[in-house]
Structure 1
Amino acid sequence: MRSRYLVLSVSAFLCFITLCNKSNAQVKLANLFTDDMVLQQQDNVPIWGWDKAGSYIAVSTTWDKKIYHTVTDASGRFMVKIATPVAGGPFKVTVSDGKPLTLNDVLIGEVWVCAGQSNMEIPMKGYKSQPILNSNEAILNSSNPNIRLFTVPRGSKTTLQQDVKQSHWLAASPESVAKFSATGYYFGRLLSKMLNVPIGLISCNYAGSSIQAWMDPETLKAFPEIKTPAPADSIKEVSRTPTTLYNAMLQPIIGFGIKGTIWYQGESNYDNPAQYDSLFVTFVKILRTKWGMGDFPFYYAQIAPYDYAQLPPYNKGGKYNSAFLRDVQRLDEDKIPNTGMAVLMDIGEQATIHPPRKQQAGERLAYLALGKTYNFKGFGYQSPAYDSFTAKGNSAVIKFKNAANGLTSFLKEINTFEIAGPDKHFYPAKAQITGGSVTVTSDMVKEPVAVRYAFKDFVVGDLFGTDGLPVSSFRTDDWDYNVQ
């Protein structure tokens, strides 16, 4: 099928504008498209909006002087894809139906979506009485015209929305950074430093959100245990009602030209790890399908350890041990192509679900992007990961991958391993590092059949790669949740 948009010569464009001047309409762009925005470099990126049905729409760009045009459909919507150059700027983009609308100070660079729940949403200034460690100095030194920030306003709807609520791209400054996602900002700051190109960050988050709130109704039909609301239903939980955040916040930005996504979510699903396993893998697959960009990079943070029994309804033990959710996230890294998981085992806090050390979270996500997407070499970007279990007499030998330079506890005693025999009862164990493996023993277990590491609701990890990246909690067994 022939494309609905064409590249016009300048003379043809002038004739087109003359004809369009008869229109009484005024083009309206989706709220993602504002002055100061960043467009993904070296791509064909879409620009969309609305006008009177049947209106001719022209889009011109100053970087290559090309002009594109299309016609709005019966609903008045239009979409034009424009070719972007290598990183640079500032440029202008003009969209016209006879009455031009010009976007100024447009940069071309690398664009990332930063999505999830409160641990991605929490701004650099922190929540009330919940700080971000060392953020004040980072905020003070944040002015950078090459980092641009867009925050999708919160919204929760039972019906699909055409657009997000009005917002604006802002250059990084103390005022704008203070209000922006801390994890997202630290991620973007490191990318900006290493890539030396403009960085665009889109924060799309809602505190307390469940993953099913970010998923569309059609996809959730595969999960009959999840009830999706009818259009006229009231929303009892604005951040946890299935489909409502997808409708109001996510779907309206899908299609914007991006390099990839970083994700920090799972705390609100900690009590159902088996379901989350299927939901998360499905979510990433469907998100990529809807975006229409193939398997774009998708990096995610593993939830940090926390004492979830402090939260209503105060469940404790069994599947309510959040280590099971962390284990699902660990295993999903091998199920999802072009992904990576930032491990946060060393930064959790027992008294707060919002760890204040967000620089580690953001920068570990950036390490993954720099290593896997941008092909930087010579540094560690992946945590060592459990590879295999071998029983040798009364010892269990655990081998790890991504540990070419070996493992370390930084000269501290390792106290977080447990070992079990045929009775399936876990006992505290001694652990000895040998290169890229750990030997685990206990006087209470003569025939080891399973090992668990840091497998508690709240725990501080004590095993690392020599690059300082922590090892995820893991278990070698697949036993029932009630086996402790």
Structure 2
Amino acid sequence: MSKSLARVLALIVCLFSITSQAVAEVRIANIFADHMVLQRDKPLRIWGWADPGDQVQIEFAGQVATATADQNGAWEVTLQPLAASAEGRPLRVASGDKTIVVNDVLVGEVWHASGQSNMAMNVGAMTAELESVKVDIAAADLPALRFCRINEGESKAPQSDLSRPASWTVCTPTTVPGFSGAAFYFARRLNHELGVPIGIIDSSRGGTPIEPFIPRAAFTSHPTLQRELELGDAEDLAAIWRLKGGVQARDANWLPGRLFNSRMAPITRLAARGAIWYQGESNSGVQEDPRDYQFKMQALISGWRAALENETLPVYFAQLPGSGAGAGWPYLREQQRLAADFPNSGLVVTIDLDGPGIHPANKVDVGQRLARWALAKDYGKQIAFSGPLFDRQEIQGNDIVLHFRYAESGLMTADKEGLAQPQETPEAKLSHFEVTDKAGQWRPAHAKIEGETVVVHSPDVAAPIAVRYAYAVTPENCNLYNRDGLPAAPFCSQPQLLVYDPNLPQ
């Protein structure tokens, strides 16, 4: 090649580069997409990228804000809080001669929904066992409900943006079969009670433990978490599995923080009201160790609150159902109960819901019970939101008297059939109560309701020290409820007595 030709080519490359920079286009973060919902009554951060120094103008709902892209090309504005609106309005972002329009944007309540397959299980899958769900699908012309599914792969480092534009889907009879069942019934109840748009961001992934959803900074809160992070950084999956309180990490999707990095980190600036969570199966299945899940759940909650810059972010989570896959399930249910003592969190009990296998089809009650917590705690509705939760015990000779929170309405035995409301069964005996003494062997016990308490004794245990309820992989007919029709959570009055060994029958 001649020197003159080389100079010409170099000039062309230079000119192309300069031209490309001159016409570089502004862009908005990928979570902002047609049909989305923005959180009402909170400052709204809108962000994206452009050339360093470029001026960017944002318009929405009568507000206009401007920003200058920083040296890295990042820009952000904060809009003033807005009231709820079901009117689809455009969000405009302009820089130079380039304008981006996000169409049909509503303002209402935004909730994250995450976990594993019981959260991911969609409305369409529920119809295989619940014929009545087909009626709900046919009636699901609900344009104020919008769902956004996040399916990013795992990432070693927190990502600044989603890898592709999000897809926000309007709820119709055609689209609703693909929505998370638990999240749909949660959202539908909120919409019905509040009369405002509801946006759900579903980041769940089937078959994963809790660890990949916990932000890296939260792994400092407990020794087991600290060690899991060290082993995760080394990608030593076998060592994580051998660790007491570890997990069977099958691939990188199971490693600490990897799904938070890809699915949550890019959208933490988006204002949201709270989160619902349904997970635990992959921390307590066959050859999986559920120990320390209490601290993992609390790390997830505190980690999400820090990342979303909301110290009081409500997080409501579902306890594992009454069907089970291994010896660890009853132990993990107890760990979930203990985790619910964390401030601004709440436990939804599912032990009474019918359904075989680890994926019971009844996500109707799950979603509605999750909604009860939100309606009572976040929206000021006068509604019962929790079944009886063990509070304390009194030992009176051979009897143990149990006291409960959320039993002010009284206690009852009841039976729940399918989707029907529980029906009181005054002649039925309480089931699944056991007591133990210092020898540590659990024996079946008799239990009876006395006002707001339950009195438990066993003729085989002369000096009882503790009671446990529904501590089985698949307990049937768990029939203790409060008179608000909500079931009692499985519990152990002395949790330290539940010594879990994955090699021993429980």
TM-score interval, normalised by the smaller of the two chains: 0.7 to 0.9
How many angstroms does 1:220 deviate by? 3.0
Matches within 5 A, 1:85-124: 85-88=82-85, 89-98=87-96, 99-124=98-123
- Residue of structure 1 in register with 2:422 after alignment: none
Q: Report the Cα distance in structure 1 between the residues aligned to 2:467 and 2:489, rounded to whole angstroms.
A: 14
- Residue of structure 1 in register with 2:330 after alignment: 323
Q: Report the Cα distance in structure 2 between the residues aligned to 1:76 and 1:217, rounded to whole angstroms.
A: 26
Q: Report the Cα distance in structure 1 between the residues aligned to 2:63 and 2:259, rounded to whole angstroms.
A: 37
Q: Report the Cα distance in structure 1 between the residues aligned to 2:72 and 2:146, rounded to whole angstroms.
A: 32
- Write the letter of the residue equivalent to 1:137: V
Relative distance call for 1:53 and 1:236 in structure 2 (3 A) is: farther
Q: CA RMSD in A?
A: 2.3
- Residue of structure 1 in register with 2:473 after alignment: 457
Cα deviation code 1:246-289 (max 9, x no counterpart): 12211112121111111111111124333222221112112101
- From 331, 343, 349, give the equivalent of 2:349: 343
| 2:151 is the counterpart of 1:153 | yes
C-alpha contact (below 8 Å) 2:32/2:166 kept by paired residues: no
Relative distance call for 1:130 and 1:154 in structure 2 (3 A) is: farther
Residue aligned with 1:367, SS:
helix
For the pair shown, the structure with the greater C-alpha radius of gyration is: 2
Q: Report the Cα distance in structure 2 between the residues aligned to 1:210 and 1:73, rounded to whole angstroms.
A: 38
Residue aligned with 1:105, SS:
strand
| 2:407 is the counterpart of 1:403 | yes
- Write the letter of the residue equivalent to 1:145: P
Matches within 5 A, 1:28-39: 28-39=27-38
Q: Unaligned stretches of 5+ in structure 2?
A: 1-20, 238-248, 415-424
Matches within 5 A, 1:278-297: 278-297=295-314
Matches within 5 A, 1:12-31: 24-31=23-30
| 2:86 is the counterpart of 1:79 | no
How many angstroms does 1:236 deviate by? 5.4
How many angstroms does 1:215 deviate by? 2.3
| 2:368 is the counterpart of 1:363 | yes
Q: Report the Cα distance in structure 2 between the residues aligned to 1:248 and 1:35, rounded to whole angstroms.
A: 21
Relative distance call for 1:24 and 1:260 in structure 2 (3 A) is: same
- Residue of structure 1 in register with 2:203 after alignment: 204
Matches within 5 A, 1:22-421: 24-61=23-60, 63=61, 65-88=62-85, 89-98=87-96, 99-126=98-125, 131=129, 134-164=132-162, 165-220=164-219, 223-226=225-228, 227-229=231-233, 237-270=251-284, 271-309=288-326, 316=327, 320=328, 322-334=329-341, 336-347=342-353, 349=355, 351-377=356-382, 379-410=383-414, 411=425, 412-421=428-437
TM-score (norm 2): 0.83
How many angstroms does 1:438 deviate by? 0.8
C-alpha contact (below 8 Å) 1:25/1:97 kept by paired residues: no
Q: Report the Cα distance in structure 2 between the residues aligned to 1:23 and 1:196, rounded to whole angstroms.
A: 47
| 2:442 is the counterpart of 1:426 | yes
C-alpha contact (below 8 Å) 1:452/1:476 kept by paired residues: yes
Q: Report the Cα distance in structure 2 between the residues aligned to 1:187 and 1:236, rounded to whole angstroms.
A: 31
C-alpha contact (below 8 Å) 1:207/1:239 kept by paired residues: no
Q: Report the Cα distance in structure 1 between the residues aligned to 2:216 and 2:112, rounded to whole angstroms.
A: 22
How many angstroms does 1:230 deviate by? 6.3
- Residue of structure 2 in register with 1:4 after alignment: none
Q: Report the Cα distance in structure 2 between the residues aligned to 1:258 and 1:155, rounded to whole angstroms.
A: 23
C-alpha contact (below 8 Å) 1:153/1:166 kept by paired residues: no
Residue aligned with 2:366, SS:
helix
Cα deviation code 1:432-483 (max 9, x no counterpart): 1112111112211222211110011211321111121110100112212369
How many angstroms does 1:139 deviate by? 1.3
Identity of aligned residues (%): 31
Cα deviation code 1:96-123 (max 9, x no counterpart): 1121111221111111111111111111
> Which stretch shows the higher mean deviation, 454-463 or 192-201?
454-463
C-alpha contact (below 8 Å) 1:133/1:358 kept by paired residues: no
